[in-house]
């Protein structure tokens, strides 16, 4: 099973600041890495697929990068609605696995 480790667990930032979230895989997942955003009481929302492709309707301030085992989700300038939990997920191998999540909170 591929283990995904997200860091940091919590990121405390102010609106307008840049957020950088990391996801590291225990073995290569090529570019088959996905990012989701989840707000309290809501289902997850697909942000980025295959490491760097924004999903439909996702603002350009969200970007993804990386390949192999190291991946990054960047939010260039935090908007109030971006404070949420972010999960990475690999779709390279079965079982499909998630990271434990990074909470982006208001400082």
Partner 1 sequence: EVQLLESGGGLVQPGGSLRLSCAASGFTFSSYDMSWVRQAPGKGLEWVSSIRSSGGNTYYADSVKGRFTISRDNSKNALYLQMNSLRAEDTALYYCAKDSSGWSNWGQGTLVTVSS
Query: Which residues make up the interface to partner 1 (CB under 8 A)?
Result: 1, 34, 36, 38, 43-46, 49-50, 53, 55-56, 87, 89, 91, 94-101
Is the CB of residue 86 less than 8 Å from the CB of residue 21? yes
Considering beta carbons, is residue 13 or 46 the nearer one to partner 1?
46
Least distance to partner 1 from the beta carbon of 91, Å? 6
Considering beta carbons, is residue 17 or 28 the nearer one to partner 1?
28
Cα angle, residue 5 at apex, residues 4 and 8 outer, rounded to 5°: 145
Considering beta carbons, is residue 32 or 83 the nearer one to partner 1?
32
């Amino acid at each position: 099973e591929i283990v995904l480790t997200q860091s940091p667990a919590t990121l405390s930032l102010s609106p307008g600041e840049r957020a950088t979230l990391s996801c590291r895989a225990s073995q290569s997942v090529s570019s088959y890495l996905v990012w989701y955003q989840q707000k309290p009481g809501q289902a997850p929302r697909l942000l980025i697929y295959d490491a760097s492709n924004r999903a439909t309707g996702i603002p350009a301030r969200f970007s993804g990068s990386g390949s192999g085992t190291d991946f990054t989700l960047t939010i260039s300038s935090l908007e109030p609605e971006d404070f949420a939990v972010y999960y990475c997920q690999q779709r390279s191998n079965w079982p499909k696995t998630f990271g434990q999540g990074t909470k982006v909170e208001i400082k």
